[in-house]
Amino acid sequence: DWALCMPSPAMDFFDAPSVELSQVTQRLVAFMIHQKPLVLYPSLPRLAEAVVRSLDPTHVGVRSSLAKSATLMINELVRTYPMIAFHGASQRLAVGTPDGFVVMYDLKSGTRMYVLDGHKRAVTACTFSPDGRRFLSMSLDEQVVLLWRLHGGFILSLGHISEPTRPRLSA
């Protein structure tokens, strides 16, 4: 079984015994994402958090050593899982969770920026607008799409879009 071949995906790459082990682990997890994405699905929020922490700029040597493998891993996460989105210009990473939250990270600072709380069920997809000022999150379980305005530190839910009610045919 693939899951038995690797360290825990929730491993904190930053606290690994060596930078080399962190690099190898990140590459292995990126390979797992590519080959067996469902194995890692339950651990995605913690996995993303570990990748972001490995990019902490206060640890310059670690960040520069792990930047390439972390970038590879982020690319694989975004390409594979629709509930994870990245905005290049702002260096923000968003991760939808099974609990209905979206955790927003700043990759420049290697920190969690904020948590968007609007869904009642799992966030199944999300994306940034091209300018990074708006963000869309969706929950298939709820049949709800939320549009968020991200501006100047304020987050505003602009509302939700749900499936229109269908007229009932009378007999």
Mean per-residue pLDDT, 93-114: 94
Q: What is the pTM of this model?
A: 0.79
Q: What are the structure tokens assigned to 16, written together?
A: 């690994």
Q: Is the pLDDT of residue 128 over 70?
A: yes
Mean per-residue pLDDT, 97-103: 95
Q: Is the pLDDT of residue 13 over 80?
A: no
Contact 70, 93 (CB under 8 A): no
Contact 116, 104 (CB under 8 A): yes
Contact 81, 89 (CB under 8 A): no
Q: What are the structure tokens assigned to 23, written together?
A: 């690099």
Q: Is the pLDDT of residue 73 over 70?
A: yes
Mean per-residue pLDDT, 6-22: 60
What is the DSSP-derived secondary structure letter of residue 26? H
Q: Is the pLDDT of residue 54 over 70?
A: yes
Decide: helix, strand or coil at residue 85. Answer: strand
**CA distance readout (Å), 37 to 53, 75, 106, 131, 156:** 22, 13, 24, 29, 32
The residue count of the chain comes to 171
| Percentage of the chain lying above the pLDDT 90 cut | 40
Q: Is the pLDDT of residue 1 over 50?
A: no
Q: Which of 112, 108, 110, 70 is closest to 95 using CA atoms? A: 112
Could you give the angle at the alpha carbon of 149 between the alpha carbons of 74 and 103, nearest 5°? Answer: 35
